[in-house]
């Protein structure tokens, strides 16, 4: 019978605790930031020990944990529960939690109440989807001490409005709107911006023009400040066809299909290393 180590143990001295100022300093040095989704205490410890900079308690838990067909059924209570679990498991990584659908759209005041619930659960930053009116909400939160990560491109909470899971910003008008939304969010005080399923050239342009934003790409090429993947995707656990921007890090590149794979800890460490050295994503394989 194995005994899990207590989360109250002193953190190892290998690296300092990751804070928002330290993330900004790393980005300013040109260091790529490695983010992964996480939903429980055990994986939180594994990801943290492997060197992940940021853990995202994503509303993707609706898909990979609850078996839902979208993120829409996820509630604020679900998010707070999983945020608490991850907060108890992680040692040093920075913790971001999603504001789920219906928890922030009504008003900035609603968003603040929802953000408060997640921060009391252990989040150090909240993430919300969309541009336009959300800039006002971002400003309202930031002015009240809530760090914010915005999210543009494919925004899964709006999957029905945008007509499915497809690349956003391909034509000139859509690209201009994405850039305008990113600019408004940066001016409102957002610290991070997830860019999902966005052409690589557009993601690189947004990153270059808005240096105050730490851009985190997922299917947005190699020109962003950092990268994020859904944990279950990068471990090769998600059934069905793998999205183009995903790499299964349990497989050793060039090995035979039936060759032994890496352990979870080794795969996460490989992901972190590949993001840091710029070998992932490969524009020719994973970009649009």
What are the residue numbers of the active site?
A: 196
Question: C-alpha distances in angstroms, 173 versus 168, 169, 182, 287?
Answer: 11, 8, 14, 21
Q: CA 272 from chain center: how many Å?
A: 14
Chain centre distance of CA 68: 19
- Terminal CA-to-CA distance of the chain, rounded, Å? 48
Contact criterion met (CB below 8 Å) for 86 and 55: yes
CA distance 238 to 248: 10
Q: How far apart are CA 199 and CA 223, in angstroms?
A: 10
CA distance 10 to 78: 29
| Residues in CB range of 158: below 8 A, 6 or more apart | 129, 130
What letter does residue 91 receive in the DSSP assignment? S
Rounded to 5°, angle at Cα 61 from 18 and 3: 65
Using alpha carbons only, what angle is made at residue 194 by residues 110 and 59, rounded to the nearest 5 degrees? 55
**Residues facing residue 196 across a β-bridge:** 153, 218
Residues shown for the chain: 288
Both tokens assigned to 156: 């899964």
């Amino acid at each position: 019978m194995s005994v899990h180590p207590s989360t109250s143990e002193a953190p190892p001295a290998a690296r300092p605790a990751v804070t928002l100022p330290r993330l900004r300093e790393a980005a300013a040095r040109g260091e790529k930031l490695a983010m992964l989704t996480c939903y429980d205490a055990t994986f939180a410890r594994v990801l943290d020990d492997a060197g992940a900079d940021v853990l995202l308690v994503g509303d993707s838990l609706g898909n990979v944990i609850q078996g839902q067909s979208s993120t829409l059924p996820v509630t604020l209570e679900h998010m707070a529960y999983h945020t608490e679990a991850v907060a108890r498991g992680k040692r040093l990584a920075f913790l971001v939690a999603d504001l789920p659908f219906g928890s922030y759209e009504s008003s900035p005041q609603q968003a603040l109440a929802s953000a408060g619930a997640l921060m009391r659960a252990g989040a150090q930053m909240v993430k919300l989807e969309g541009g336009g009116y959300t800039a006002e909400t971002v400003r309202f939160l930031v002015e009240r001490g809530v760090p914010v990560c915005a999210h543009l491109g494919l925004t899964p909470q709006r999957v029905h409005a945008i007509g499915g899971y497809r690349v956003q910003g391909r034509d000139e008008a859509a690209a201009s709107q994405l850039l305008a939304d990113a600019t408004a969010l940066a001016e409102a005080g957002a610290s991070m911006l997830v860019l999902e399923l966005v052409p690589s050239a557009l993601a690189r342009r947004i990153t270059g023009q808005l240096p105050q934003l730490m851009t985190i790409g997922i299917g947005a090429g190699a020109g962003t400040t950092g990268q994020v993947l859904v944990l279950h995707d990068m471990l090769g656990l998600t059934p069905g066809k793998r999205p183009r921007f995903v790499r299964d890090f349990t497989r050793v590149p060039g090995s035979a299909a039936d060759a032994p794979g890496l352990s979870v800890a080794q795969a996460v460490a490989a992901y972190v290393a590949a993001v840091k050295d710029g070998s992932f994503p490969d524009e020719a394989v994973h970009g649009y």
